[in-house]
Structure 1
Amino acid sequence: MTEQHGVNVSGGLSLKAQLYGLLVTLLALAFASALYTSIEGVRAYQAKQLASHAQDAAHNLGLAISPHLDEPGLVLAETMASAIFDSGYYKQIQFTDAEGAVRFSRVHENSELNVPGWFQSWFPLYAPQMQSEVANGWIPGGTLTVQSHVGQAYEALWQSAKGLALNTLWLLVAAMLIGYLILRAVLSPLSALKGQALAVMRKEFHQVRRRPFTLELRALVNAFNQMVSNTERSFSEQANYAKQLSEQLYVDGLTGLPNRQALLMQFEPQREDALLHNDSLQLGLIRLPSLADVNQTDGYTGGDQYLLRCIDIVQQHLTALSDVRLYRLSGSELAILCRLDSDDLLQLNKKLTSEFAAQSTDIYPQGFAQVYFTQVKDKEPFADTISRLDTLHLTQTDVTAETRQDGTTEGHSRQYWRGVLKQYTAVTQTGLPIETESQFEHLSTSLAKHFELMLQPILGKDGDIIYSESLVRFNWQQAGLSTAATFSMAERLNLGPALERAVLCFVLSQLRHHPEHRIGINLSNVFVNDRMHQQWLLTLLKTLKGQLPPLVFEIKESALINQESRIRDLIQNLKEVGALVTIEHFGAHLSSFQSIGNLDIDYVKIDGSFIRSLNQHNNIFFVQSLTQICHAVGVKVLACHVESATTARQCMQLHIDGIQGRGFADTTSINECFKNFIYSDTPTGLELRNKFLS
């Protein structure tokens, strides 16, 4: 059964099947009735012929034997009767004299007929006994009784029935073919309309090109096409407007980079996420000290080229890194917000410093560019972090000292990480599909002591729990490990996909014990962009079919960039196994508004930076636009990082469908959640909601 937000689109009998079934039934009944009537008419004719044939034979034979009644033994009369009887058309010929004595009799014994028994029982034939008075002159001589044999009549009736059945069958086939063509012409537009409606449910907008000849259906097709066209146009206009608004508010016009306002919005959500995952968050500052000199010597065009050249160099080094983003703070300053381990950060700083030094020539009297990084402290505001970066610039402090001091992988050698990751990925390194439950049990048992599954609910407007998002924390020797550092080192050791598979196996193994509650699972871009990994996941889901709770897979908005076709195939495959799909961090990249109109997704989760900044009028208007865009195509909207009752009320006023945040429900171990019925039923969710809002 296929469902789309509770709309059942299958499970009944189609109109096509009903009409074709009705057509076949009516035609079959009509032609069967006609065939039966025709055969019955032939049977009645044959029965009449049997009586007439016997009566004629009785008269004629009686006249023939009447002159010979005086002969002793009626030898000649009996001979004539035998001659007629031997023709096989008669069952009985008998002559009884005036005193009632039988003078001669011929009776045909029962014989097999070349006619099926069922046919004889359905269409019985009875041959009556016909009599004729025979006189010898004026003296009554006796009575001659003649009965025809039904064998010839049955054979004639059977042959007629076969001919009638064949003709009726041809007529039935011809009538069905004509009826099929007529119904096909009528139902084809309805089938096209059904496909159009299902496509709209999948966020696809298609026009029905073929116009039916039936006036009512033509009007219906035109109305549907107009409705779909209006929906598509409305969605496109809203998406374009939201894109323009986002570019005005959060994008630098010259470079196309997110501006200072975007960085301010992203700073706190990134800091909270880093804390949640035991990661470290770093902020980098890139200064172009020679920009003023270049503007004076080469004009503002030369200064713009200088800035764009620096951005191009930085982007080349950031492409291979995840969770790293470049911003433009002001005319001569760029910022990098990232979540890297100390080794990756040092390597990035070293490469950028070396590249900037190589670019320094006489054209840039103050040097090409300078880069500084600092680690963001817990609950530290943006102003304090940027102030510390300015101090690093003024004192020319090297990044190495600070990152070594604050690095999260302090004391963890490459050999240490190799041992940790070897344990984590011992069974999933091969990438072979898990096709049996015994394989899965062995894997989940080995991972349970190293991973911990946490849940955080997403509450609906009415207090219902839409689903709970899952989070995996890494443990080693009773100590927590940084999520970013773990994945970063796994990538360096070529174990990134294996670690992803291990995490998914662990999550699914834990969820098998709680099959009644909908759970969300994050998919990394590694899985989203690789078909081999996708197939591995789909095989695992099919292996565990019937043992898992309803699932929601969360895909990052960044995965949509230049991968829309591949994402569409993945979403379709996930839908086939009964899962729902969420696009998270929606709006962060400011370029995917049109994409959701082409993807069969169920939810979008607005990036937390917009939710945290709902106190600003521009952000309220922007979030409202995003919500309207999604609702226009039937996608539900979720808000994360809801930390206050004021923000929750604003979300409800903006018609956001679900809220998530540490303000009313923090992440909790899955065992604690279901042990105490936390985050698992509507009454609890309603209590959380009311308590939070009060």
Structure 2
Amino acid sequence: MAHKWWRKLPGISLRTQLHLLIVLVALFTFSFSLYISVQSTQNYLNTQMKSHAQDAATSLGLSMSAYMDDPDLVIAQTMVSAIFDSGYYAELEFKTAKGEVKIKRQNPIEYDEVPQWFVRLFPLSPPFQSSEVNNGWMVAGVLSIQSNPGIAYKTLWQQARQSFYSIALITLFSAFFIQLIVYAVLKPLRRIEVQAQEVGKKNFLQQDKLPFTTDLRSVVKAMNTMVANIQRSFKSLSLQADELKVKVFTDMLTGLGNRRLLEQRFAAEKTEQKAHDLRLHIGMMSLHSLTEVHQRQGFEAADQYILLAVKEFKEMLEAMTNNQLFRLSGSDFIFLSHLGADELEQQVQQLSTKLKLLDSVFYPKGFASVALMEVEPEDNLHHCLSSLDSAIIQRAQQPDLPVMVKDESMLIKPEGRMAWHAVIKDLIQNQNFELWAQPVINADKSVEYIETFVRFYYLHSQLSTAETYAMAEQQGLSLQLDQQVIHFILQQVQNEPDHIYAINLSLGAVSSATFLQWLEKELQLLAGKVRLVFEVSEYSILRAPEETKALMNVIKQNRCKVCIERFGSSMATFKYLQGLNVDYVKIDGAYVSVLNDADNQFFIKTLCQISHGIGIKVLAPHIECEQTMDSCFAAGVNAVQGNWLLAPQKVNAQVKKSVLTQPFINLELVHSPRN
């Protein structure tokens, strides 16, 4: 029982323990030394008073012997008075041989400035010392003298004070120098602690300065070796994953995703579209003259043609967020976007105009054409590519045709910027949000955390989440919208400490210093009432790396966790993980949807090895069947999420308690992992 109680106590640092030990030893040494010093002086004074009284009794007794014939002892009394009046004696008494007291003197004992507690603590007991007084050969009487302890107390008190100050000074200097020695010894330990903490933050620091102490030097060398091994393993696995991604999912000439990655990404985006009612657009750019350039001018000219077109395509996409570019075949390029239809159509139209300006005699059939369409829930990739290809052919013959193939939506769509501004202001002011939630499930059926997100409503109709955020960005209201959404979610979950809840952060929020300050205040107000995970997309991290690090530091300081979502969606190297203090990575759904493929399985295993090697848990979304879930767990994934387990659940005032407080939110899982 005592052992369990002891284990629950908060730990004490080694530095504090050593400092406490030094203070206790110093106090003990000081107290013991002072006591010994005062006690030694006390014993010395007792001995001195005894000797002093004995000498006085012997000397005075001899002097009085010559005057014992006088019955009144007048001269003897005069001699006694001369000695006793000096004040060094407390009491003097002369008794005759018959026991008659002939002479008796007493002095009051005065302690002057000596405190009473000191007198009680160190008592002085001067004894009566006696000497026989003879009259010839006969004993005339006995002379007894006692020394005055008042003077001895004063001497003892002065000596005690001097000892106190001198021993205290020596103790302080000794403790100070010992503290310096302890600091010098503990400084390497502090560096080891910092090094270990930095490894936990995925920073692989080496200690160049070795401590003087041989034991600590061995520990530092061992730590350096361990960190170097972790870093080497991380770099090796990252390089292996990068090479595999380039080999399997990348077009070698352009560095863009290939058709295989497009198919997987399209399937993942369709899953997201169904789960969250997102708007998805797909666009195509076709290089009409590639075959002619290749035949007439050779491979190098054809490659330059492709790279120039890709450059123009990328410049258009860089002006927008959440876009993905792929090379479908030799002359065709595809991009996927969640951007609003109006803004996206405007950007694609500008690209079309720019491509038209590149037409020249070097490109007999024109430089390139573009087309755009909205992906409906029932559309598959083949249908979309066929529609875009037909539109490209038509636009090559009739350049004035609109770039948008079709523009249909079941969602409400405000017309014009002023209408959108009013809608978004209404959302911010009235919080016309719906809270939805979906759990992330571990292999043992426990909930790792519950992801929360909102859907927007205006005039009782649902708005496109992606388009709403895009228009808020255009209207300069994205920061206010992000703050209201997060504040709304925090209000819903702040009294639900049983689970961990995840909140998604947009690129605008991640890159805003104002949002960072606001979020820090919100988290401080929560004061740990609820456990939170903040999900940040890989795209946001790569676009705003420094701002992301600052955001993660604030999140971690407030005892929350960080998850990188859509991990692996970009073509960037995985080395960017180094230095990021994250707890989870959520693999991009494009890799999860086709785990029956051997290359995908190996890729996921490598991602898991990279993440686990630096203490990061791996999550897999878009679980649509048991086989996919089993493959994820077999590859090393820690937890999974998807409609097969449990589709996103609406949370409202009536069912909030049942949704957020059940072992699995709202209800039992439709399916669950097998133990």
TM-score of the superposition, structure 2-length normalised?
Answer: 0.93
Structure 2 CA distance for aligned equivalents of residues 280 and 199 of structure 1: 41
Quote the offset at 1:318 in angstroms: 1.7
The match for 1:600 is 581
Distance 1:564 1:323 in 2: 16
Matched, 1:421 2:424: yes
- Structure 2 partner of 1:443: none
Q: Distance in 1 between matches of 2:578 and 2:559?
A: 21
Whole-angstrom CA distance in 1 between matches of 2:594 and 2:10: 45
Distance 1:10 1:599, change over 3 A: farther
Quick check: 1:458 aligned with 2:440? yes
What is the CA deviation profile of residues 300-330 of structure 1, one whole-angstrom value per residue up to 9, with x for unaligned ones?
Answer: 2222222222222222222221222221111
Question: Which position in structure 2 is the counterpart of 1:376?
Answer: 375
Say whether the 8 Å CA contact 2:658–2:666 is kept in structure 1.
no
Aligned ranges 1:204-353 → 2 under 5 Å: 204-353=203-352
What amino acid does structure 2 have at the position aligned with 1:418?
A: H
Aligned twin of 1:657: 638
Q: 1:560: how far off?
A: 1.9
- Report deviation, 1:564: 3.0
Structure 1, gaps ≥5 residues long: 1-7, 427-445
2:204 and 2:589 map into 1 onto residues whose CA distance is: 30
- The DSSP-based 3-state class of the residue aligned with 1:383 is helix
Give the match for residue 501 of structure 2.
Answer: 519
- Which residue of the other structure, out of 463, 470, 489, is the alignment partner of 1:488? 470
Take 2:333 and 2:516, find their aligned partners in 1: how far apart are those partners? 37
Structure-2 residue corresponding to 1:53: 52
Against the structure 1 CA distance between its residues 46 and 686, is the aligned structure 2 distance closer, same or farther, given a 3 Å change threshold? farther
Structure 2 distance, partners of 1:403, 1:345, is 13
Matched to 1:59, the amino acid is T
Q: Is the 1:342–1:409 Cα contact (8 Å) retained in structure 2?
A: no
Secondary structure in structure 2 of the residue aligned to 1:141: strand
SS in 2 for 1:521: strand
More deviation, 129-138/675-684? 675-684
> For residue 309 of structure 2, what is the amino acid of its counterpart?
C
Report how many aligned residue pairs link the two structures: 665
**In structure 1, what is the Cα distance between the partners aligned to 2:662 and 2:618?**
21
Is 408-417 or 582-591 further displaced after alignment? Answer: 408-417
- Per the TM alignment, residue 256 of structure 1 is displaced from its structure 2 partner at its CA by 1.5
Moved more, 286-295 or 162-171: 162-171
Provide closer, same or farther for how the CA distance between residues 638 and 680 of structure 1 changes in structure 2, counting only shifts above 3 A. Answer: farther
- For the 8 Å contact 2:427–2:456, the answer to whether it is kept is no
| Residue 597 of structure 2 corresponds to residue 616 of structure 1 | yes
Contact 2:659 2:667 in 1 (8 A): no
Bigger mean CA deviation after superposition, 177-186 or 301-310: 177-186
What displacement does 1:38 show?
2.9
Q: CA separation in 2, counterparts of 1:562 and 1:391?
A: 35
RMSD between superposed Cα atoms in Å: 2.6
Query: Could you tell me how far 1:380 is from its partner in structure 2?
Result: 2.0
Shift of 1:355: 1.0
Match of 1:575 among 553, 556, 562: 556
Q: Deviations over 1:110-133 (max 9, x none)?
A: 323222333222211011112222
The farther-off stretch of 587-596 and 290-299 is 290-299
Which residue does 2:96 correspond to in 1?
97
Q: CA deviation at 1:195?
A: 2.1
Contact 1:202 1:599 in 2 (8 A): yes
User: What residue in structure 1 maps to residue 21 of structure 2?
Assistant: 22
Contact 1:490 1:496 in 2 (8 A): yes
SS in structure 1 of the partner of residue 453 of structure 2 = strand
Q: 1:493 to 1:174 in 2, by over 3 A?
A: closer
Letter in 2 for 1:584: E
User: Alpha-carbon deviations, 1:365-384, whole Å to 9, x = none?
Assistant: 21121011122121322111
Partner of 2:526: 544
- Aligned-partner Cα distance in 2 for 1:565–1:144: 98
CA distance in 1, matches of 2:212, 2:470: 63
- 1:8-67 Cα deviation digits (max 9, x unpaired): 999411222223322332343244323322322221111011111111111111222232
More off after superposition, 355-364 vs 51-60:
355-364
Alignment of 1:88-127 (within 5 A): 88-127=87-126
1:433 corresponds in structure 2 to: none
Residue 341 of structure 1 contacts residue 409 of structure 1 at CA under 8 Å; is this kept in 2? Answer: no
Q: 1:186 to 1:126 in 2, by over 3 A?
A: same
Q: Compute the displacement of 1:211 (Å).
A: 2.4
Return the offset for 1:620: 0.9
Distance 1:177 1:583, change over 3 A: same
Secondary structure (helix, strand or coil) at the match of 2:535 reads strand
Quote how far apart the aligned CAs of 1:141 are: 2.9
Cα offsets for 1:127-169 (capped at 9, x unmatched):
1112222233334433322110012222222233333334433
Q: What are the Cα deviations for residues 523-547 of structure 1, in whole angstroms up to 9, with x where unaligned?
A: 1111211222111111111122244
Answer with 483-492 or 464-473: which moved more. 483-492
Separation in 1 of the partners of 2:316 and 2:569? 21
Distance 1:500 1:203, change over 3 A: same
Structure 1 vs Structure 2: percent identity of aligned residues? 35
Quote how far apart the aligned CAs of 1:677 are: 4.5
Structure 2 vs 1, CA of residues 554 and 592 (structure 1 numbering), >3 Å: closer, same or farther?
Answer: farther
Structure 2, unaligned runs of 5 or more: 1-6
Give the one of 622, 641, 644 matched to 2:622.
641
Q: 1:683 to 1:520 in 2, by over 3 A?
A: closer
Shift of 1:630: 0.4
SS at match of 2:64: helix
Q: Distance in 2 between matches of 1:674 and 1:195?
A: 46
Between 576-585 and 386-395, report the one with greater CA deviation: 386-395
Tell me how far 1:255 sits from its aligned partner. Answer: 1.3
Q: Note the C-alpha offset of 1:198.
A: 1.8
Secondary structure, counterpart of 2:144 in structure 1: strand
SS in 2 for 1:456: strand
* Contact 1:279/1:408 (8 A) holds in 2: no
Q: Distance in 1 between matches of 2:229 and 2:577?
A: 17
| 160-169 or 565-574, larger mean C-alpha shift | 160-169
C-alpha distance in 1 between matches for 2:561 and 2:115: 62
Instruction: Supply the distance in 2 between the matched residues of 1:535 and 1:88 (Cα, whole angstroms).
Output: 81
Give secondary structure in 1 for the equivalent of 2:352.
Answer: helix
Q: 1:9 to 1:535 in 2, by over 3 A?
A: farther
345 and 209 in structure 1: CA distance in 2 versus 1, 3 angstrom threshold: closer
Which residue number corresponds to residue 669 of structure 1? 650
2:68 and 2:664 map into 1 onto residues whose CA distance is 112
What residue in structure 2 maps to residue 631 of structure 1? 612
Deviates more, 1:480-489 or 1:135-144: 135-144
Q: What is the correspondence of 1:351-366 to structure 2 with a 5 Å cutoff?
A: 351-366=350-365
Per the alignment, residue 435 of structure 1 pairs with none
Q: Alignment partner of 2:441: what SS?
A: strand
Give the 3-state SS of the residue equivalent to 1:591 in structure 2: coil
Q: Is the 8 A contact 1:91 1:147 kept in 2?
A: yes
With over 3 angstroms needed to count, the CA separation of the structure-2 counterparts of 1:18 and 1:692, relative to structure 1, is closer
**CA 1:311 to 1:95, structure 2 compared with 1: closer, same or farther past 3 Å?**
same
- For the residue of structure 2 that corresponds to 1:497, the secondary structure is helix
| Aligned mates of 1:407, 1:662 — CA distance in 2 | 22
Distance 2:610 2:673 in 1: 28
